[in-house]
Amino acid sequence: MKVLVTGASGFLGQATAAAVRDAGHEVRTFQRRPSGVAGVQDVAGTMTDLAAVARAVEGVDAVVHLAAKVSLAGDPADFVRVNVDGTRALVDAARRAGARRFVFVSSPSVAHTGSSLVGAGAGVAEPQHARGDYARTKAAAELLALDADAPGCAVVAVRPHLVWGPGDTQLIGRIVERARAGRLPLLDSGAALIDTLYVDNAASAMVAALEHAADDDVHGNAYVVTNGEPRPVADLLAGICAASGVAAPRWHVPAAVARVAGSLVEAVWRVRPGQDEPPMTRFLAEQLSTAHWFDQRRTRTDLQWAPSVSIDEGLARLADAARVSR
């Protein structure tokens, strides 16, 4: 197949474009800057440029849509323009161009309303109840993408959960930066169980979704994808810090206090935004203090997929990469 991968200059986007290429497909990418992926055709553009979106989908058989505005803060209108309006434009353009498959890369946060998720399934995306502008707009975008599932154009949503690995400047980068500065607390006891996903596993899951999107049991559905190895937050943070050569967090903050502080920080950030992500938000406090791990049986059966890199092996690879970079 000739496959368009959007957002291929990002951490997961690069890995996905390379995995789709390695699976034998012809890959075109679409993003604001070069993808850095060898053997693919880069097309420059943004999700808000309708003409560029239309050019990007010309002649493709399938789309894997990762491009999004991902942030804990920012102008709400920007999230709508990129995540909702951009997805709508891409879906419409892809269908007009004759694409037969569309993989929408979503997030488990679209169905997270603040309470613990214990062995949960995908659940229905809830734009009205999801936490934060990113989650709300991704929920709305997922619903409109899945609504386009129809004979001749199979649509599937994949929700990778907390993707990490060497080279990740978002999750890993921020954990390490804050731990090094002594600004990484554990909320409550740090015992909440959470699922994560090593980047190579995330990319292979995207290929599986692409190749099985038209299966009767797959199209029209949403799937959460994780390593299936839930660990306490404290253990996971300690493993990441140890692999990265920084001290693990040792001080504790009550989750209720962090949630209130996060709400206050969000209010200040809306008036006087900083240059980086806010140090705490209510959504982040909820993520660090509530369990969220997922039943992977349906994901693995329907997509005929399983992770190939364990959490421990991923941490070893992270440590190897950190030693090389020092």
Digit-coded pLDDT (tens) for 207-242: 999 999 999 999 999 999 999 999 998 999 999 999
In this predicted structure, the answer to whether residue 50 has a pLDDT above a threshold of 90 is: yes
Q: How confident is the model at residue 17 (pLDDT cuts 50, 70, 90)?
A: very high
**CA 40 to chain CA centroid, nearest Å:** 22
Residue 60 per-residue DSSP state: -
Q: Does residue 58 sit within a domain?
A: yes
Please give the pLDDT value at position 59: 95
Q: How confident is the model at residue 284 (pLDDT cuts 50, 70, 90)?
A: low
- Return the structure tokens found at 282: 């209510």
Please give the pLDDT value at position 181: 84
Task: Give residue 124's domain range.
Answer: 2-163+197-226+294-307
Query: Pairing relation of β-strands 231-232 and 193-194?
Result: antiparallel
Please give the pLDDT value at position 291: 81
Q: Does residue 129 sit within a domain?
A: yes
Please give the pLDDT value at position 277: 63
Please give the pLDDT value at position 71: 76
- Of 279, 271, 230, 275, the C-alpha closest to 253 is 279
- Return the structure tokens found at 318: 């992270």
144 and 91 Cβ atoms separated by less than 8 Å: yes
In this predicted structure, the answer to whether residue 273 has a pLDDT above a threshold of 70 is: no
Choice between 157 and 326, residue whose per-residue pLDDT is larger: 157
Q: Does residue 214 sit within a domain?
A: yes
Q: Does residue 176 sit within a domain?
A: no
d(C-alpha 293, C-alpha 295), whole Å: 7
User: Which amino acid belongs to residue 251?
Assistant: W
Please give the pLDDT value at position 175: 85
Residue whose entry in the numeric block shows the structure tokens 């969220």: 292
Q: What is the mean pLDDT of the chain?
A: 88
**Is 198 designated active site?**
no
Q: Does residue 87 sit within a domain?
A: yes
Highest mean pLDDT among 93-97, 190-194, 252-256: 93-97
In this predicted structure, the answer to whether residue 264 has a pLDDT above a threshold of 80 is: no
**Lowest-confidence range among 11-25, 66-80, 247-261, 293-307?**
247-261
Q: Does residue 175 sit within a domain?
A: no
Please give the pLDDT value at position 319: 93
In this predicted structure, the answer to whether residue 260 has a pLDDT above a threshold of 70 is: no
Please give the pLDDT value at position 51: 94
Q: What is the DSSP secondary-structure string of 151-197?
A: TTBEEEEEEE-SEE-TT-TTHHHHHHHHHHTT--PEETTS--EE--E
Q: What is the DSSP secondary-structure string of 206-266?
A: HHHHHHHTTSTTTTT-EEEE--S--EEHHHHHHHHHHHHTSPPP--EE-HHHHHHHHHHHH
- Of 176, 104, 167, the C-alpha closest to 138 is 104
Find the CATH number of the domain harbouring 221.
3.40.50.720
In this predicted structure, the answer to whether residue 256 has a pLDDT above a threshold of 90 is: no
Contacts of 41-45 with C-beta under 8 Å, sequence gap 24+, read 42/8
Q: Does residue 270 sit within a domain?
A: no
Q: Does residue 136 sit within a domain?
A: yes
Q: How confident is the model at residue 169 (pLDDT cuts 50, 70, 90)?
A: confident
In this predicted structure, the answer to whether residue 280 has a pLDDT above a threshold of 60 is: no
Catalytic residue of the set 30, 79, 102, 134: 134
Number of helices (H), then strands (E), in the chain: 12, 15
User: Distance of CA 272 to CAs 73, 265, 298, Å?
Assistant: 11, 10, 44
232 and 193 Cβ atoms separated by less than 8 Å: yes
Number of structural domains found in the chain: 1
- Return the structure tokens found at 54: 């239309």
Half-sphere exposure of 234 (CA within 13 A, CB side): 13
132 and 280 Cβ atoms separated by less than 8 Å: no
